[in-house]
Amino acid sequence: MATFRQRVLKREILKGTFLNLGSPITVEIAGKAGFDWLLIDTEHGVGDHETLVHQLQATGNTQAEPFVRIAANETPRYKRVLDLGARGVMVPWVSNVKEAKLAVKSMRYPPQGIRGVASLNRACQFGQDFENYYASANKELVTVVQIETVEAVENAEEMASIDGIDVLFVGPTDLTTNYGISRQFDHPSYREAIARVIVACTSAGKAAGRILSNN
């Protein structure tokens, strides 16, 4: 059976939703609705690290893959959410190759990356499944970077080509705002940016993500 990351890289249409209320019940309801993935938002959402663990636990009663959007592209933030059991991380405001490579390294254990190794956390069943988790994490966890700046669009091709970058996900409000056309989702500049990201992903064998309600 294909892993979720393999399904992503095959560019299957995988549907999900953003969750920003900090509520485990809301997470569980969304998971029961049939989404393929759930994105728990710690960038703009009201939940903190303590509420995150309960939200991740709530996904365990569903078939949805649990993702977390961290607040910033800072290495310690990755291991905090991955150790709790997130199967993917969405990284906001990634605009260039250097930032994209930092995201990949922060997602992976050495020697491929710089993620700190701990064996007694929720992700590896508090030590019971550490060896299996350690052996598979670098290959199975999903890295999603958000395209939210003009610079990011201009660097989309290079970022998509990086091994370990799996999804370029357009952040529509930030991107249009940075283009000076805030929330004008039918504007030609925004449409051209979307098209460029899609072509970059397709050419590199990666997936493109977008929020359908704003398009």
Q: Is 54 a catalytic residue?
A: no
- What are the structure tokens assigned to 154, written together? 């201009």
- What are the structure tokens assigned to 123, written together? 């992700």
Give the CB-side neighbour count of residue 47, counting CA atoms within 13 A. Answer: 26
Q: How far apart are the first and last CA of the chain?
A: 33
Q: Tokens 């999900």 sit at which residue?
A: 16
Can you point out the beta strands (E) in the chain? 16-19, 37-41, 65-69, 88-91, 142-147, 167-170, 207-209
Cα torsion angle, 8, 13, 17, 18, sign: positive
CA distances from 18 to 26, 70, 84, 120, 210 (A): 11, 13, 18, 29, 12
CA 89 – CA 188 distance, rounded (Å)? 30
**Residue tagged active-site, from 44, 49, 54, 187:** 44
Q: Give every strand in the sheet of 16-19, ordered side by side.
A: 16-19, 37-41, 65-69, 88-91, 142-147, 167-170, 207-209
- What residues are labeled active site? 44
